[in-house]
């Protein structure tokens, strides 16, 4: 019986490599092994952040948000717009925050469960320039780019969500949000995150998502979209308009990322610990706000600590300090028992070069090993967040696969200790090597990460192939995926309804899910 | 070192030494020492304009060069700018009394819908360092705010910044509002911010795009030089 089955398997023709990605570099693998802060240091930073909120306070202009804080017992100084939050209020209020936030993809295989030390890596935005795939030169980003990056994110194995890559600069402001979400959702079955500039556009985006999900209840159960709300401008200031959008999103039940992005030395202290204190205070003020509005509202702490290069004042996204701080925030978020969004795997390089590679590896690896839950900006980003590139998507996806393999770590079990295999191979009847063992056969697809674009051939083979560098190989793969990848369509009739209802500018041929 | 400085009697220096020291103090960001130097020069009966050009501007030029070359860091430049401002506060009323060319005034702000201001603040401080009077309107400013400020202060320069692509187009509205109010022609409009570039500046009818604070200060000095025919830095 067994031999017959084996024969028939052989007869089936060329072997196809099984899809073992989920085993080799599993989305949601548990991080947390890298811990730049000790437990005592976490406590000191947390306590200092509470002191900042109590003593210095946050600036909130006269608004509904300020009323919410005042009603809860915060001290409001109307002359200086300062809202001071007693530590008891903060700690009691944030206890209501959910420890997990569930985000859905149109395809349930891409669902994310944010929380604990589960690690997901994905794209970020919004860039304002794109390296054109044909010319290689930087140009303004368009709605077509939002769609094409979405399709690439859908095709790439180690990209776990699609946070819209770039700004559709060919659209007027009033069409921007609904078109950006449509172009994203129409091109990927992974979870889509974006932002909304006004409460009106948020309502449009929610109507769009509700139609795709198949109703309000369906969307509530499976949130296909989530919202980045950059509700602060550091240091310690609430941005009035974004706070209005945040307020509406929380009331409407949309999962929100509280994104705050201070730059050490410019908009937060030059001392890295001081930047963490200020940023943690900002996050705690935001979390307190969402939980006062609606206890239990799905909220993700959005720590985005960066650095200002004090030689120029320029934003820096690819430095060792960036790596350290973005790892540390995973620990601070866990201290509160709330999921963490952060930024890593970006670069200040202008093209995907060696600088881009090492900066991305440093920051992405640090954040992932630290157990950050939703690592955005980790695919395709160049020029300190200003530019995104198709070939960089492909390269970074391989990098993130390698990182996720490292997060998964080394399984040490009776089997993997391999005592019997060693004894057999090295024994009197052994072959003296492991290439043909049953263990090698069993593990060849699951123990090792095989990058798509890294070149591991001999020099002779590489030269015979025209000696292509990584960028060139990645461009080829990006083009191939964009040409051949098919995206699971929306349910029947949905696209027509969306196009009837909204002024959708994406050409139908770029709406893969149509 | 500080003891020696403290004991230094400025009256014992000749004019050349006094100006050299003023330039060095400015470079080192010693605001009080710069003020003392300016006070001493004025006490000797030197014209405010000469103190400005021979003492302060000469010092700031070295700061600008060394910042560009990566020798000085932003915090050091800001200290120097603050020292420059200290000296200027003494000189400005005297400059206004004479027919010496004005150092210039800049009105600056972040446009409506945008409340990101670190870059704008840096530009403001560098402009002060270049000897300009800076009127900072702050963040989230409407076209009306800009027009009113230009009417009130009659600056030579207007600076606008935006970090977001969604707020950037508002700069054009400000320029149009200035034109409608008949104020545009008397003004150099400078624009900046991460997503802004040369092409955009030209398209909206601005006079210059400044990619960073150092370039902004340099541009301002060039523009004012062209207008008032004073040496660069005047």
pLDDT at residue B222, rounded to an integer = 87
**CB count, 10 Å around CB of B173?**
15
Contact B118 A169 (CB under 8 A): no
Structural contact between residues B111 and B170, judged by C-beta atoms closer than 8 angstroms: yes
B43 touching chain A per CB within 8 A: no
Contact B165 A167 (CB under 8 A): yes
Considering only the beta carbons, identify the residue of A237, A239, A310 that sits closest to B73. A310
Angle ∠(A237,A240,A244) on CA atoms, nearest 5: 125
Helix axes A39-55, A87-94, angle to 10 degrees: 120
Determine the topology of domain B105-228 in CATH: Rossmann fold (3.40.50)
Contact B75 A169 (CB under 8 A): no
Chain segment B91-124, per-residue pLDDT in tens: 988 888 877 766 789 999 999 988 888 889 889 9
All residues of chain A having their beta carbon less than 8 Å from the beta carbon of residue B119 are: 313
A271 touching chain B per CB within 8 A: no
All residues of chain A having their beta carbon less than 8 Å from the beta carbon of residue B217 are: none
Angle ∠(B179,B142,B158) on CA atoms, nearest 5: 55
Size of interface A-B (CB pairs under 8 A): 42
Determine the topology of domain B2-97 in CATH: 1.10.1240
- Locate CATH 1.10.1240.10 in chain B: 2-97
Contact B166 A176 (CB under 8 A): yes
SS3 label, residue B225: helix
B171 touching chain A per CB within 8 A: no
Contact A313 B166 (CB under 8 A): no
All residues of chain A having their beta carbon less than 8 Å from the beta carbon of residue B161 are: none
Q: How far is A171 from chain B (nearest CA, A)?
A: 10
Contact B213 A169 (CB under 8 A): no
B115 touching chain A per CB within 8 A: yes
Give the pLDDT mean for A288-303: 98
Alpha carbon distance A376, A400 (integer Å):
11
Chain segment A239-271, per-residue pLDDT in tens: 999 999 999 999 999 999 999 999 999 999 999
pLDDT at residue B101, rounded to an integer = 67
Structural contact between residues A151 and A506, judged by C-beta atoms closer than 8 angstroms: no
Residues in chain B: 234
Contact A263 B118 (CB under 8 A): yes
Within 8 A by CB and 6+ apart from A203, the residues are A248, A252
Q: How far is B194 from chain A (nearest CA, A)?
A: 8
Give the C-alpha distances (Å, rounded to integers) separating A268 from A307, A514, B163. Answer: 9, 45, 18
pLDDT at residue A462, rounded to an integer = 97
Q: How far is B142 from chain A (nearest CA, A)?
A: 15
Give the C-alpha distances (Å, rounded to integers) separating B135 from A313, B110, B129. Answer: 22, 12, 14
- Locate CATH 3.40.50.280 in chain B: 105-228
Structural contact between residues A390 and A152, judged by C-beta atoms closer than 8 angstroms: yes
pLDDT at residue B118, rounded to an integer = 86
Q: How far is B157 from chain A (nearest CA, A)?
A: 23
What domains can be seen in chain A, in order of their start residue? Answer: 100-264+297-409+449-514 (3.20.20.480)
Per-residue burial over A133-157, b = 16 or more CB atoms within 10 Å of its CB, e = otherwise: eeeeebebbbbbbbbbbbbbbbbbb
Burial of residue A483 (number of CB atoms within 10 Å: 0-12, 13-18, 19+) = exposed
Structural contact between residues A188 and A154, judged by C-beta atoms closer than 8 angstroms: yes
Say what the ipTM of the complex is. Answer: 0.84
**CB count, 10 Å around CB of A5?**
9
Among B43, B12, B46, B40, CA closest to B25: B40
Alpha helix (H) residue ranges in chain B: 2-7, 15-27, 31-43, 48-50, 58-68, 74-97, 118-129, 143-153, 170-180, 198-203, 213-228
Q: Position of tokens 């969004």?
A: A341
pLDDT at residue B190, rounded to an integer = 96
Contact B195 A128 (CB under 8 A): yes
All residues of chain A having their beta carbon less than 8 Å from the beta carbon of residue B75 are: 310
Alpha carbon distance B87, B108 (integer Å):
22
**Helix (H), strand (E) at residue A258:** strand A256-260
B118 touching chain A per CB within 8 A: yes
For residue B211, pLDDT over 70 is answered with yes
More confident residue, A220 or A22: A220
Confidence of residue A155 (pLDDT cuts 50, 70, 90): very high
SS3 label, residue B94: helix
Contact A169 B165 (CB under 8 A): yes
Contact B117 A233 (CB under 8 A): yes
Chain segment B118-160, per-residue pLDDT in tens: 889 889 988 888 888 999 999 989 999 999 999 999 999 999 9
Contact A312 B212 (CB under 8 A): yes
More confident residue, B213 or A139: A139
A294 touching chain B per CB within 8 A: no
Alpha carbon distance B10, B6 (integer Å):
10
Percent of chain B with pLDDT over 70: 92
Structural contact between residues A342 and A303, judged by C-beta atoms closer than 8 angstroms: yes
Alpha helix (H) residue ranges in A56-114: 64-72, 87-94
Chain B interface, best mutation among A171, A313, A314, A382, by max B CB count within 10 A: A313
Radius of gyration, CA atoms only, chain B: 18
pLDDT at residue B228, rounded to an integer = 41
For residue A490, pLDDT over 60 is answered with yes
What tokens were used for A159?
Answer: 């990209």
Contact A311 B113 (CB under 8 A): no
B183 touching chain A per CB within 8 A: no
Please state the three-class secondary structure of B20-78 as a single string: HHHHHHHHCCCHHHHHHHHHHHHHCCCCHHHHHHHHHHHHHHHHHHHHHCCCCCHHHHH
Chain segment A431-475, per-residue pLDDT in tens: 999 999 999 999 999 999 999 999 999 999 999 999 999 999 999
Alpha carbon distance B26, B58 (integer Å):
9
Residues in chain A: 514
**Residues 188 through 217 of chain B touching chain A, CB cutoff 8 Å:** 194-195, 212-213
Q: How far is B73 from chain A (nearest CA, A)?
A: 4
Contact B75 A241 (CB under 8 A): no
Among A289, A394, A300, A297, CA closest to A342: A300
Peptide bond into A230 cis (omega under 30): no
pLDDT at residue B218, rounded to an integer = 87
For residue B206, pLDDT over 60 is answered with yes
Q: How far is A195 from chain B (nearest CA, A)?
A: 12
A477 phi, psi to nearest 5 deg: -65, -40
B166 touching chain A per CB within 8 A: yes
Chain segment A382-401, per-residue pLDDT in tens: 999 999 999 999 999 999 99
Structural contact between residues B98 and B189, judged by C-beta atoms closer than 8 angstroms: no
Considering only the beta carbons, identify the residue of B74, B115, B212 that sits closest to A310. B74
For residue B226, pLDDT over 70 is answered with no
For residue B229, pLDDT over 80 is answered with no
Among B126, B137, B136, B57, CA closest to B91: B57
Contact A313 B115 (CB under 8 A): no
Percent of chain A with pLDDT over 90: 94
Confidence of residue B230 (pLDDT cuts 50, 70, 90): very low
All residues of chain B having their beta carbon less than 8 Å from the beta carbon of residue A169 are: 165
In A, minimum Cα distance to B117 occurs at A233
pLDDT at residue B6, rounded to an integer = 59
Give the range among A144-148, B89-93, B205-209 with minimum mean pLDDT: B89-93
Contact A197 B166 (CB under 8 A): yes
Q: How far is A315 from chain B (nearest CA, A)?
A: 10
In B, minimum Cα distance to A168 occurs at B165
The region that residue A404 occupies, defined by phi over 0 for left and psi between -120 and 50 for alpha, beta otherwise, is alpha
pLDDT at residue A1, rounded to an integer = 43
In B, minimum Cα distance to A264 occurs at B118
More confident residue, B58 or A238: A238
Q: How far is B122 from chain A (nearest CA, A)?
A: 8
Give the C-alpha distances (Å, rounded to integers) separating A243 from A233, A237, A296. Answer: 11, 11, 18
Peptide bond into B185 cis (omega under 30): no
In B, minimum Cα distance to A141 occurs at B165
Alpha carbon distance A422, A446 (integer Å):
20
Its pTM stands at: 0.92
All residues of chain B having their beta carbon less than 8 Å from the beta carbon of residue A267 are: 118
The region that residue A370 occupies, defined by phi over 0 for left and psi between -120 and 50 for alpha, beta otherwise, is alpha
For residue B232, pLDDT over 50 is answered with no
B70 touching chain A per CB within 8 A: yes
Structural contact between residues A434 and A447, judged by C-beta atoms closer than 8 angstroms: no
Give the pLDDT mean for A332-338: 98
Q: How far is A259 from chain B (nearest CA, A)?
A: 14
């Amino acid at each position: 019986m067994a031999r017959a089955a084996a024969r028939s398997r052989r007869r089936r023709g060329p072997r196809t490599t099984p899809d073992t990605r989920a085993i080799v570099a599993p989305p949601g693998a548990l991080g947390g092994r890298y811990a730049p802060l000790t437990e005592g240091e976490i406590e000191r930073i947390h306590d200092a952040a509470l002191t900042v909120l109590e003593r210095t306070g946050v600036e909130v202009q006269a608004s509904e948000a300020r009323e919410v804080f005042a009603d809860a017992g915060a001290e409001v100084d109307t002359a200086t717009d300062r809202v001071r939050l007693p530590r008891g209020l903060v700690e009691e209020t944030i206890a209501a925050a959910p420890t997990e936030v569930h985000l859905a993809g149109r395809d349930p295989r891409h669902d994310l469960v944010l929380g604990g030390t589960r690690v997901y890596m994905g794209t970020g935005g919004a860039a304002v320039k794109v390296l054109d795939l044909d010319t290689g030169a930087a140009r303004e980003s368009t709605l077509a780019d939002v769609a094409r990056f979405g399709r690439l994110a859908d095709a790439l194995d180690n990209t776990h969500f699609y946070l819209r890559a770039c700004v559709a600069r060919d659209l007027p402001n009033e069409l921007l949000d609904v078109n950006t979400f449509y172009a994203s959702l129409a091109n990927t079955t992974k979870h889509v995150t974006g932002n909304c500039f006004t409460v009106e556009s948020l309502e449009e985006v929610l109507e769009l998502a509700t139609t795709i999900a198949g109703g309000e209840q369906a969307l509530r159960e499976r949130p296909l979209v989530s919202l980045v709300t950059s509700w602060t401008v550091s240091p310690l200031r609430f941005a009035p308009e974004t706070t209005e959008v945040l307020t509406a999103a929380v009331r409407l039940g949309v999962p929100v990322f509280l994104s705050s992005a201070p730059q050490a030395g410019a908009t937060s202290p030059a001392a890295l610990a001081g930047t963490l204190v200020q940023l943690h205070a900002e996050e705690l003020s935001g979390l307190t706000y969402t939980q006062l509005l609606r206890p239990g509202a799905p909220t993700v702490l959005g720590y985005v600590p960066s650095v200002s290069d004090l030689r120029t004042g320029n934003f820096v996204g690819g430095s060792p300090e960036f790596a350290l701080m973005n790892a540390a925030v995973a620990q601070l978020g866990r201290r509160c028992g709330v999921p963490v969004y952060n930024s890593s795997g970006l670069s200040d390089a202008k093209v995907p070069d060696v600088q881009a590679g090492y900066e991305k590896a440093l920051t992405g690896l640090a954040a992932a090993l630290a157990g950050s839950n939703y690592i955005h900006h980790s695919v395709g980003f160049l020029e300190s967040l200003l530019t995104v590139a198709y070939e960089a998507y492909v390269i970074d996806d391989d990098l993130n696969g390698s990182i996720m393999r490292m997060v998964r770590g080394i399984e040490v079990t009776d089997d993997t200790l391999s005592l019997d295999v060693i004894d057999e191979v090295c024994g009197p009847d052994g072959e003296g090597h492991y290439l043909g063992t049953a263990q090698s056969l069993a593990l060849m697809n699951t123990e090792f990460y095989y990058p798509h674009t890294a070149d591991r051939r001999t020099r002779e083979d590489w030269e015979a192939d025209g000696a292509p560098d990584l960028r060139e190989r990645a461009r080829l793969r990006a083009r191939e995926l964009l040409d051949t990848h098919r995206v699971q369509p929306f349910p029947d009739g949905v696209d027509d309804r969306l196009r009837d209802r909204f002024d959708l500018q994406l050409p139908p041929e770029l709406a893969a899910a149509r | 070192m500080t003891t020696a400085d403290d004991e230094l009697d400025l009256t014992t220096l000749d004019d050349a030494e006094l100006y050299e020291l003023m330039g060095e103090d400015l470079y080192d960001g010693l605001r009080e020492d710069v003020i003392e130097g300016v006070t001493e020069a004025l006490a000797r009966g030197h014209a405010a304009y000469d103190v400005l050009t021979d003492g302060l501007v000469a010092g700031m030029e070295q700061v600008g060069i060394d910042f560009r070359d990566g020798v000085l860091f932003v915090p050091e430049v800001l200290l120097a700018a603050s020292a420059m401002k200290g000296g200027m506060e003494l000189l400005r009323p005297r400059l206004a009394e004479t027919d010496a060319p004005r150092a210039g005034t800049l009105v600056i702000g972040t446009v409506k819908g945008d409340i990101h201001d670190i870059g704008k603040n840096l530009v403001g401080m560098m402009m002060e360092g270049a000897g300009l009077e800076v009127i900072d309107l702050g963040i989230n400013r409407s076209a009306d705010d800009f027009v009113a400020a230009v009417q009130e202060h009659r600056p030579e320069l207007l600076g606008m910044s935006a970090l977001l692509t969604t707020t950037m187009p508002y700069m054009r509205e400000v320029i149009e509002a200035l034109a409608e109010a008949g104020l545009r022609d008397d003004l150099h409009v400078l624009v900046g911010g991460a997503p802004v570039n040369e092409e955009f500046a030209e398209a909206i009818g601005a006079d210059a795009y400044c990619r960073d604070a150092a370039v902004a200060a340099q541009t301002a000095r060039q523009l004012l030089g062209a207008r008032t025919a004073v040496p660069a830095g005047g």
